[in-house]
A and B are shown apart, each in its own frame.
Chain A
Amino acid sequence: MIAGVQLFCRLMMTAIRGQMQYRGAFLLMVLGSFLTSMVQAIGIWALFDRFGNLGIWSVAHVAFLYGTINIVFASVDITARGFDTFGSSLIRTGQFDRVLVRPASTVILVAAREVALHKLGQLLQGILVLIYALVALDIDWTLGRLALYIFAVSSMYAFFYAIQIVRATMSFWTIETLEILNTISHGGMETAQYPMSIYKESFTNFFTYVVPLACVAYFPIVGVLDMPDPLGSTLLTQSLAPLAGFVFFAVCLSFWFFGMKRYQSTGS
């Protein structure tokens, strides 16, 4: 396990060094991703400014959820790049052969192949929004709340990472891009940026029981912010909900290993 983490870091550093060879392009991309996501955040702020709060959710409350989600999603984008480009760069070309002849976990080897450093701009935006929320809300950070927040963030990370793994796994069956899965990854991110209670019940149920998005984001964050929940969750369910993210990750991981057996390679 420790050796695996070491190898992961070593390969990541190699990938970062490879990218740094093109420094100018890198800086422009970071700036671009920062500006795009900043414009988005300002758009949301403008809406709130005009129409007021979302029920009991003030701008600052939503910003807390929004900033957290964006930080997690950007972190996943940065570190799951190898899975993101898996179909096009490893399957289509048969380069996955090269991964399979190495005596290390395929998950580590694929994940650490590439780093999407240009998504640092989105990460920065998330951090700024979160700082704004923290200043505006003045949350009473008890040990329990802090623990729940960390638990929720790591579970969100596992959740969104798992979706990237599923997307990559699909390319063992088809190398056509599967836009439908983007509705869960990017669509999921945008859904989770707002409190679940504003959506229709069927929608909320789907994102709780089928794809446990609400379990990793909305419920624990409601717990951290100590807000009443129209959906009826209690502090106990809010604290346990993030477990679903790790279960989801485990399920997706076994799907990956199942898919690997289907790998057909390409002619030499």
Chain B
Amino acid sequence: MPQILVEGLSKTFRIAERKAGLLGAFGGLIRRQYRSVDALRDVSFSIAEGELVGYIGPNGAGKSTTIKILSGILVPSTGRCEVNGRIPWKQRREHVASIGVVFGQRTQLWWDLPVIESFDLLRDIYRVPSSVYERRRDELIEMLDLNRLLDTPVRQLSLGQRVRCDIAAALLHEPKILFLDEPTIGLDAVSQLNVRAFIKQLSREQKVTVLLTTHDLDDIEALCDRILVLSDGRLLMDGSIGDLRQRYGDGRYVAIELESFTTVTPEHENLVVERSESHILFSVESDVPSFIDDVLGHYPVKDLLITHPPIERVVATMYEAEKIER
């Protein structure tokens, strides 16, 4: 039995439409028009204990909706969903006591209170025994380097500091599952690295199951063994980054540095990704060796580098491909 089980999950939102203008506002009072939006369509996956899974997709794909259903916030329209054998929205209180949730865009802490008092309140809400709480709190303060922030009211923290405090707050009751909804959004480079390092450590050392939504593919590359790709409410892919590359970005990037400026030959023109005075970057889909031969024959090559296309590129290709299919 997997720790998280999602089967045929769908969620349709009914959104009240209001026509523009004053007349529209009055009209809405009398008769409302509703529009249905399918946020999730028949999504199925399962996650085993201790996995670190990345959940990606364009805006409005349904990532947050999934997280909210798994956290017991939303009730799905149809489908099955069990976490630790519990149905989140039916056994809400037992369920949420066993998970941790972080919304990167929205704090879970008390705005006007110093951080440490928010932690103390959470101890009471989650009914964590004092001895357990103190050990855990000190451990998290140490790991996330929060010592200097504890007496600061949450509203005065920077975003990076706040996210670190939020992550600590979500883990005080020692949940075995952690849902992170865009934890690195808006963070500067250093804070991003800190948060990533912490998530990795948490997963590796404490075997916490982590499901992470993100737009930042560096997060995925740095952290996740497995990714779920969602687009327009449908699950497009469930596999490793290697699988993703194989399906949508099997080619290579070939970068060359030129001895002197040379024009690109016509048969290579549609392969150029970028070019400057002294450099050309090609994207090559197949038969890389003969392409290299070709390049060496045609251009005055000073230096040459073959790489994987960046993951952004792969994902963009995949979203494009799916759009065309539909």
**In the complex with contacts A268-B64, A268-B181, A100-B96 CB distance below 8 A:** yes
**Cβ contact within 8 Å between A97 and B103:** yes
B195 on the interface (CB 8 Å rule)?
Answer: no
**Cβ contact within 8 Å between A101 and B13:** no
Q: Of residues 1 to 50 in B, which have CB atoms within 8 Å of A's CB atoms?
A: 13-14, 16, 29
- B258: min CB distance to chain A, Å: 46
**Cβ contact within 8 Å between B73 and A102:** no
**Cβ contact within 8 Å between A102 and B13:** no
- Contact partners of A176 in chain B: CB under 8 A: 29
**Cβ contact within 8 Å between B71 and A100:** yes
A236 on the interface (CB 8 Å rule)?
Answer: no
**Cβ contact within 8 Å between B121 and A265:** no
- Contact partners of B326 in chain A: CB under 8 A: none
**Cβ contact within 8 Å between A10 and B112:** no
**Cβ contact within 8 Å between A103 and B94:** yes
B72 on the interface (CB 8 Å rule)?
Answer: yes
Q: CB-CB contacts of B88-115 with A at 8 A, as 1s and 0s?
A: 0100111011010101011010101100
Name the one of B71, B74, B103, B112 contacting A18, with C-beta atoms under 8 angstroms. B112
- Contact partners of B94 in chain A: CB under 8 A: 103
B232 on the interface (CB 8 Å rule)?
Answer: no
B75 on the interface (CB 8 Å rule)?
Answer: yes
**Cβ contact within 8 Å between B71 and A261:** no
- Contact partners of B89 in chain A: CB under 8 A: 261
- A173: min CB distance to chain B, Å: 9
**Cβ contact within 8 Å between B108 and A103:** no
Q: CB-CB contacts of A165-183 with B at 8 A, as 1s and 0s?
A: 0000000001010000000
- Alpha-carbon distance between A135 and B103 when the two chains are bound, in angstroms: 58
Max chain B Cβ within 10 angstroms of own Cβ: one of A100, A101, A261, A263: A101
**Cβ contact within 8 Å between B110 and A268:** no
A202 on the interface (CB 8 Å rule)?
Answer: no
Name the one of A18, A102, A174 contacting B125, with C-beta atoms under 8 angstroms. A102
**Cβ contact within 8 Å between B13 and A264:** yes
- A226: min CB distance to chain B, Å: 47
**Cβ contact within 8 Å between B71 and A104:** no
- B308: min CB distance to chain A, Å: 30
**Cβ contact within 8 Å between B127 and A21:** no
B124 on the interface (CB 8 Å rule)?
Answer: yes
- Alpha-carbon distance between A261 and B103 when the two chains are bound, in angstroms: 21
**In the complex with contacts A261-B75, A268-B103, A268-B182, A97-B93 CB distance below 8 A:** no
A200 on the interface (CB 8 Å rule)?
Answer: no
Determine the residue in chain A with the shortest Cβ distance to B94: A103
- Alpha-carbon distance between A144 and B260 when the two chains are bound, in angstroms: 106
- Contact partners of B60 in chain A: CB under 8 A: 267
- Alpha-carbon distance between A98 and B127 when the two chains are bound, in angstroms: 17
Determine the residue in chain B with the shortest Cβ distance to A109: B125
Q: CB-CB contacts of B43-82 with A at 8 A, as 1s and 0s?
A: 0000000000000000010001000100111110000000
- Contact partners of B71 in chain A: CB under 8 A: 97, 100-101
Name the one of A100, A101, A102, A268 contacting B105, with C-beta atoms under 8 angstroms. A268
Tally of A interface residues using CB under 8 Å: 26
- Contact partners of A98 in chain B: CB under 8 A: 106, 108
- A131: min CB distance to chain B, Å: 36
**Cβ contact within 8 Å between A14 and B121:** yes
Q: CB-CB contacts of B140-164 with A at 8 A, as 1s and 0s?
A: 0000000000000000000000000
Q: CB-CB contacts of A20-50 with B at 8 A, as 1s and 0s?
A: 0100000000000000000000000000000
- Contact partners of A56 in chain B: CB under 8 A: none
**In the complex with contacts A268-B105, A268-B181, A104-B74 CB distance below 8 A:** no
A216 on the interface (CB 8 Å rule)?
Answer: no
Determine the residue in chain B with the shortest Cβ distance to A102: B125
A11 on the interface (CB 8 Å rule)?
Answer: yes
- Contact partners of A264 in chain B: CB under 8 A: 13-14, 74
A127 on the interface (CB 8 Å rule)?
Answer: no
**Cβ contact within 8 Å between B101 and A101:** yes
- 14 CB contacts below 8 A, A to B, read A10-B124, A21-B112, A95-B106, A97-B71, A100-B72, A101-B72, A101-B108, A103-B93, A261-B75, A261-B89, A264-B13, A264-B14, A267-B60, A268-B181
Residues of B within 8 A of A (CB): 13-14, 16, 29, 60, 64, 68, 71-75, 89, 92-94, 96-97, 99, 101, 103, 105-106, 108, 110, 112-113, 117, 121, 124-127, 181-182
Residues of A within 8 A of B (CB): 3, 6-7, 10-11, 14, 18, 21, 94-95, 97-98, 100-105, 174, 176, 261, 263-265, 267-268
Interface contacts beyond A95-B106, A100-B96, A261-B75: sample of 14 additional A-B pairs, CB < 8 Å, sorted by A: A10-B124, A97-B71, A97-B73, A97-B106, A100-B92, A101-B96, A102-B125, A103-B94, A103-B127, A174-B16, A263-B73, A263-B74, A264-B14, A265-B73
